[in-house]
A and B are shown apart, each in its own frame.
Chain A
Amino acid sequence: MRTVLGAVLLVAWASADARPGEHPGRAAMEQSGFAGAETCLACHPDAGRQVVGSVHWTHASKVDNVEGIDKKAVHGMLNRIYTMCNGNDVINDMKEVRSDSGKVKFTGCNTCHPGNHVQGVASKGPGAEKAVDCLLCHSSEYDFRLRKGYRDEQGRVAMGRDASLKAALAVGKPGVKNCMACHEGAGGGQYNKRGFLFSKETDAHAAKGMLCVDCHQGKDHRIPTGFDPNLWANDGLRLSCAGCHTEKPHKDADYNRHTARLACQTCHTPLTGGASAKDFTRWEKQSDGFWEPSTLKHEPNETRAVYAWFNGSVKYEPHLIGPKGSRKDPKSRIFPFKVFEGKAFYDKKTGNILGMDFAPPMQTGDALAGVASAAKIQGLAPYDPVPGWQRIYFANSHLVTKTKALKCGDCHSPGGILPFPQLGYSPAEVEKLTSSRLHFEKSLEKQRAEWD
């Protein structure tokens, strides 16, 4: 009854006394306090249902662009196993891990899930809707110290939150930090998975003051994403550069001719970073006493992208997750990718990759104990673990540069960046495409203009 009354009062006060640019309902919240998602749902009754139906909550969706998978089932972080993570929300459900020095860490794949963990990934219904941590994404004053695992009064592993009035009064459109608080830590370390940093120094869009949600414009809490060989789960909304930029984005007609077969990213995101390789069969002890899989890491913009044709569909094999496409396919364009190689255990009997529960190796470094625990969770037996590598292509669509974009001579010169032979060009074509004769006059003119 108190909740209903509170909701009615909030609705009544919500529209009153809001200053321009200020979220309505401020006065009501100042008077009544903030009671978590229930307070938000009083004025946004559909928001809870929308969020728990979105990929941010379900961590999976039906996927129609990946070959060889069940199109009727859902796929995503909830249940996938691949070598950037080697686990999923089920195998690596957040749990309490203790180091041999007695330090305690709450860790798991679903630590980024915007709920309280008691209502976990893909939970549904009113309980799930009330467990949504709205402020995690919507408050500019969120205190991220409070978002950490703990044991609740019933001994359950739960996720903390900042439900303070201060955070609630700073509610609004998600800022960059709201997104990056989770997304930059994916893959087991800062910038590991995607390899990019969205800052004014590293991205032309960030330099213009744009936010993540200016491109990833949500609709009813569904967030659009681009096509990416390794990002399978989606909210059914897609975005691309063409959402804002035209097919003829350059003043130079020669550059514009390239857009038919080259993605914008080919020239505008030529560099990448993050983890380039990771070995889940060999863990290393860290300074805090916990063990982590041995990983080769790079800073954003520190490594070169790899180029391949991509038509939006995905080749999926036990040892490769990569783009499909070819020069002959009119739907294909050349894209840059962040290529990652991961080593994990495979089942010798089936050839499939085996999952790993990180809790045992984090404590002791024993990778096979992690495989055994994962197999038990999955009900998988018997199995025969053998190490193997997997290559994964990630989309490389951030770290956008205008000033350092590739120019004619970067590709069309001997030893140029694009691997024309691998992209399907004949030796005679390669000879022509890698000659400065193609652009000599134009480049000379630009060189002169630079010094005039």
Chain B
Amino acid sequence: MNLIALILAGVLASGAGAAAPAAEGSRPAAEAEVGKLVGSVVRIDMAEDGKSAVAVLKDSKSEEEVEIFVDDQLTLDKFKDKRISAGDEIRCKYEVKDGRKHSTYFRKVGGC
């Protein structure tokens, strides 16, 4: 097999790979970067229109402050009436979009 045939085979193989569904456990190139952390709320800055907020959490592992962008109504309501406020321990999952960490899961750890 000469070099041209090898390159052609490689191109065909990669093309076939792109068309086929991703194998379980593999990560498609377009998938957003995701992350999670547990930490306490340092502060919550509501947007003026009330449609979003930035919650600053102190990561319990790294001790660093992490800004989380929140725009789901359920969590925003809890920010507004202070059911979630500074000092509360939070479990958070997020997706990185446009350089910001967008919350996909934002729950108080504790209960009664």
Q: Which residues of A does B touch, CB under 8 Å?
A: 107-109, 111-112, 141-146, 177, 181-182, 185-190, 192, 197, 199, 286-288
Q: Check A192/B83 contact, CB under 8 A, given A287-B89, A288-B40.
A: no
Contact between B112 and A145, CB atoms less than 8 A apart: no
Contact between B111 and A187, CB atoms less than 8 A apart: yes
Contact between B111 and A177, CB atoms less than 8 A apart: no
Asked if B38 is an interface residue, CB under 8 A from chain A, the answer is yes
Contact between A142 and B111, CB atoms less than 8 A apart: no
Please, which residues of chain A bring their CB within 8 A of the CB of B83?
144, 177, 181
Please, which residues of chain B bring their CB within 8 A of the CB of A197?
74
Contact between A145 and B108, CB atoms less than 8 A apart: no
Asked if B110 is an interface residue, CB under 8 A from chain A, the answer is yes
CA distance A197 to B112 in the complex (A): 16
A177-B77, A187-B111, A190-B107 known, 18 other contacts, Cβ within 8 Å: A107-B112, A112-B112, A141-B81, A143-B81, A143-B82, A144-B82, A177-B78, A182-B112, A185-B112, A187-B112, A188-B111, A189-B110, A189-B111, A199-B74, A287-B39, A287-B61, A288-B89, A288-B109
Asked if B14 is an interface residue, CB under 8 A from chain A, the answer is no
- Closest B residue to A189 using CB positions: B111
Asked if B85 is an interface residue, CB under 8 A from chain A, the answer is yes
Contact between A190 and B111, CB atoms less than 8 A apart: yes
CA distance A293 to B37 in the complex (A): 20
CA distance A143 to B73 in the complex (A): 18
Contact between A188 and B77, CB atoms less than 8 A apart: no
B86 smallest CB distance to A (angstroms): 8
Q: List 25 A-B contacts (CB under 8 A).
A: A111-B112, A112-B112, A143-B81, A143-B82, A144-B81, A144-B83, A145-B82, A145-B85, A177-B77, A177-B78, A181-B83, A185-B108, A185-B112, A188-B110, A189-B111, A190-B111, A199-B74, A287-B39, A287-B61, A287-B89, A287-B109, A288-B40, A288-B60, A288-B89, A288-B109
- Closest B residue to A145 using CB positions: B82
Q: Check A186/B81 contact, CB under 8 A, given A197-B74, A199-B74, A288-B40.
A: no
Please, which residues of chain B bring their CB within 8 A of the CB of A189?
109-111
Please, which residues of chain A bring their CB within 8 A of the CB of B110?
185, 188-189
- Closest B residue to A108 using CB positions: B112
Please, which residues of chain B bring their CB within 8 A of the CB of A192?
111
Please, which residues of chain B bring their CB within 8 A of the CB of A143?
81-82
Please, which residues of chain A bring their CB within 8 A of the CB of B111?
185-190, 192
Please, which residues of chain A bring their CB within 8 A of the CB of B74?
197, 199
- Closest B residue to A192 using CB positions: B111
Contact with A along B49-80 (1 / 0, CB 8 A): 00000000000110000000000011001100
Please, which residues of chain B bring their CB within 8 A of the CB of A109?
112
Q: Check A287/B82 contact, CB under 8 A, given A112-B112, A199-B74.
A: no
CA distance A286 to B40 in the complex (A): 12
A77 smallest CB distance to B (angstroms): 10
CA distance A74 to B31 in the complex (A): 56
CA distance A192 to B82 in the complex (A): 21
CA distance A141 to B81 in the complex (A): 7
Please, which residues of chain B bring their CB within 8 A of the CB of A142?
81
CA distance A434 to B87 in the complex (A): 53
Contact between A188 and B81, CB atoms less than 8 A apart: no
CA distance A111 to B108 in the complex (A): 16
B75 smallest CB distance to A (angstroms): 11
Please, which residues of chain B bring their CB within 8 A of the CB of A177?
77-78, 81, 83
Contact between A287 and B107, CB atoms less than 8 A apart: no
Please, which residues of chain B bring their CB within 8 A of the CB of A182?
112
Please, which residues of chain A bring their CB within 8 A of the CB of B109?
189, 286-288
Please, which residues of chain A bring their CB within 8 A of the CB of B81?
141-144, 177
Contact with A along B16-40 (1 / 0, CB 8 A): 0000000000000000000000111
Which of B61, B74, B82, B111 has the most CB atoms of chain A within a 10 A radius of its CB? Answer: B111
Q: Check A190/B82 contact, CB under 8 A, given A197-B74, A287-B38.
A: no
